[in-house]
């Protein structure tokens, strides 16, 4: 934004930067023609970029510098006014994080009919906070009390963030939707003071789902955005932007960084988003993720660590084939558990008996796959949950009986991990909120990894049979 006049020295740098910008745009146009896997492997890091600027390094370099040096005061001024491409300071941007942001933006908007921009943050939770806060600001002549409408079937941390940080501490009304597949429930909860709709699907741990397109259309009919936590699906299985979603959230900590060595989050926004919140900055509507990055994120400080970005970038390269493999493994395990006499309920969207299966089938498809008849094959991810017969102690006994499967409040791993949400991820929200969200103490959450599924099944079987 050039809202004042600059000296000839500053403008010289603006002129010089045009060449780099043109080079990057030409390359971006090429990358957009690639298939999903190619984008995941290379992102924007080209042979030219390696040879001309990074000593030929085949892998994106890890920049562990907190800040960038400038040639003189003119370049410094141009950079800090965001007039030239710059990364400046790692709280705002970093060259390694830049490659991850672009790869995610391109994958999430792949064949979605819209461009997207991305902001990578320190964690999934900070991505959620950064995504919702700009819509909750006080407006001139606005109402005393504003609200947002959210599915109650959320990751425990997101529930706490909304219920405690937003509702209890800031007096913002959260209107919970108990059955997000029921469009009527959403409709009855929205009014003119609603700032956005918030959905997570498939939800962790209940495997809740909704009609994504209908929900985005409903949000837009009120001129508000749909914010969608798509952590469990990843862009390999669903790209909510293709169905009208405005802002997509990922905990990069999960399936995207399946190796399990880093925490991270991402906020990806469609260009443009729908909102009636007034904000003078042109990027607010046009490129929301960039707006957040350049302003509130800069001022709030939940910066991603470049090393963590590197881990995410590296695991991201094989996202599609990995999600295919672990989804198939999970399907096999879910079918085994469904037939097990000690298990009274299995929630996995891939099971044809699941009441939300037909809805999920419409949306969850392995990108760039082919069933031989020109359609993409359905894949439902690797998170599932099952409920063990008898008192809650039985679920604890089964969890304690695992010999290979790790007991951890973790998911999305290349290794199988399991937990009981009622005593871990969803402990803090209390019994009543757990009842609303359908998380009984008999429920074990299982995320199936890339082991041979027969070995996962054998471990589950011996643990269940010890009851
Ligand atoms: C884990 C998780 C989060 C939070 O992410 P962190 O990286 O742990 O902060 C948000 N949403 C979902 C669905 C998650 O599973």
**pLDDT tens string 233-264:** 999 999 999 999 999 999 999 999 999 999 99
Q: Specify the ligand 1 atom closest to the Cα of 154.
A: 13
In this model, does residue 2 exceed pLDDT 70?
no
Cβ neighbours, 10 Å, residue 84 = 20
In this model, does residue 1 exceed pLDDT 70?
no
Cβ neighbours, 10 Å, residue 338 = 15
Dist. CA 201 → ligand 1 center (Å): 12
Distances (CA, A) of 323 to 320, 332, 450: 5, 14, 9
List of residues 6+ apart from 48 with CB closer than 8 A: 23, 27
Q: Specify the ligand 1 atom closest to the Cα of 231.
A: 13
The 10 Å CB-count burial string (b at 16+, else e) for 270-281 is bbbbbbebebee
List of residues 6+ apart from 85 with CB closer than 8 A: 17, 20, 21, 24
Dist. CA 251 → ligand 1 center (Å): 5
Does 254 sit in the ligand 1 pocket, CB within 6 Å? yes
Domains present along the chain, CATH in parentheses: 319-464 (3.90.1150.10)
Average pLDDT (205-211) is 94
Distances (CA, A) of 197 to 223, 243, 341: 11, 15, 40
Sign of CA dihedral 320, 123, 271, 85: negative
Average pLDDT (160-166) is 97
Nearest Cα to Cα of residue 82 among 8, 134, 21: 21
In this model, does residue 165 exceed pLDDT 70?
yes
Distances (CA, A) of 211 to 110, 218, 349, 355: 20, 11, 14, 13
pLDDT value of position 430:
85
Dist. CA 77 → ligand 1 center (Å): 38
Does 151 sit in the ligand 1 pocket, CB within 6 Å? no
pLDDT value of position 434:
86
Structure confidence by residue, pLDDT tens digits, 345-402: 999 999 999 999 999 999 999 999 999 999 999 999 999 999 999 999 999 999 999 9
pLDDT value of position 433:
83
List of residues 6+ apart from 9 with CB closer than 8 A: 72, 73, 74
Identify the residue whose C-alpha is closest to ligand 1 atom 1. 251
In this model, does residue 214 exceed pLDDT 60?
yes
Instruction: Please give the share of the chain, as a percent, with pLDDT higher than 70.
Output: 99
Identify the residue whose C-alpha is closest to ligand 1 atom 7. 124
Between CA 279 and CA 363 the distance in angstroms is 33
Structure confidence by residue, pLDDT tens digits, 397-411: 999 999 999 999 999
- Sorting pLDDT into bands at 50, 70 and 90, what band is 3? low
Identify the residue whose C-alpha is closest to ligand 1 atom 12. 155
Do 269 and 291 meet the contact criterion of CB atoms below 8 Å apart? no
pLDDT value of position 206:
87
């Amino acid at each position: 934004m050039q809202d004042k006049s600059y000296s000839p020295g500053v403008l010289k740098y603006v002129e010089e930067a045009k060449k780099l910008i043109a080079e990057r745009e030409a390359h971006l146009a090429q990358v957009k023609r690639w298939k999903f896997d190619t984008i995941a492997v290379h992102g924007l890091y080209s042979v030219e970029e390696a040879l001309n600027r990074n000593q030929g390094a085949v892998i994106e370099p890890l920049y562990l510098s907190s800040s960038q040096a400038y040639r003189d005061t003119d370049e410094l001024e141009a950079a800090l006014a965001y007039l030239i491409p710059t990364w400046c300071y790692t709280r705002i941007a970093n060259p390694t994080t830049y490659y991850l942001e672009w790869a995610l933006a391109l994958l999430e908007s792949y064949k979605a009919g819209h461009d997207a921009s991305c902001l990578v943050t320190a964690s999934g939770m900070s991505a959620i906070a950064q995504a919702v806060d700009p819509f909750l600001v006080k407006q001139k002549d606005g109402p005393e009390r504003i609200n947002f409408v959210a599915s109650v079937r959320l990751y425990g941390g997101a529930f706490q963030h909304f219920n405690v940080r937003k509702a209890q501490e800031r007096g913002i009304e959260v209107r919970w939707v108990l059955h997000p597949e029921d469009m009527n429930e959403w409709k009855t909860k929205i009014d003119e003071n609603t700032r956005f709709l918030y959905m997570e699907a498939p939800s962790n741990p209940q495997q809740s789902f909704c009609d994504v397109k209908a929900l985005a259309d409903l949000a837009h009919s009120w001129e508000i955005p749909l914010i969608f936590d798509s952590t469990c699906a990843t862009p390999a299985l669903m790209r909510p932007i293709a169905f009208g979603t405005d802002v997509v959230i990922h905990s990069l900590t999960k399936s995207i960084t399946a190796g399990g060595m880093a925490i991270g989050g991402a906020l990806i926004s469609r260009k443009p988003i729908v909102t009636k919140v007034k904000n003078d900055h042109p990027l607010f509507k046009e490129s929301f993720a960039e707006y957040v990055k350049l302003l509130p994120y800069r001022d709030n400080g939940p910066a991603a660590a470049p090393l963590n970005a590197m881990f995410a970038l590296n695991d991201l390269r094989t996202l599609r084939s990995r999600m295919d493999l672990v989804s198939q493994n999970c399907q096999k395990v879910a079918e085994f558990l469904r037939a097990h006499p000690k298990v009274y309920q299995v929630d996995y969207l891939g099971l044809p008996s699941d009441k939300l299966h037909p809805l999920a089938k419409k949306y969850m498809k392995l990108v760039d796959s082919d069933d031989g008849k020109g359609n993409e094959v359905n894949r439902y991810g690797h998170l599932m949950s099952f409920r063990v017969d008898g008192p809650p102690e039985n679920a604890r006994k089964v969890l304690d009986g695992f010999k290979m499967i790790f007991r951890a409040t973790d998911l999305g791993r290349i290794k199988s991990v399991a937990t009981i949400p009622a005593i871990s991820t969803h402990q803090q929200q209390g019994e009543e909120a757990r009842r609303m969200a359908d998380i009984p103490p008999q429920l074990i959450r299982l995320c199936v990894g890339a082991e041979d599924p027969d070995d996962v099944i054998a471990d589950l079987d011996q643990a269940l049979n010890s009851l």
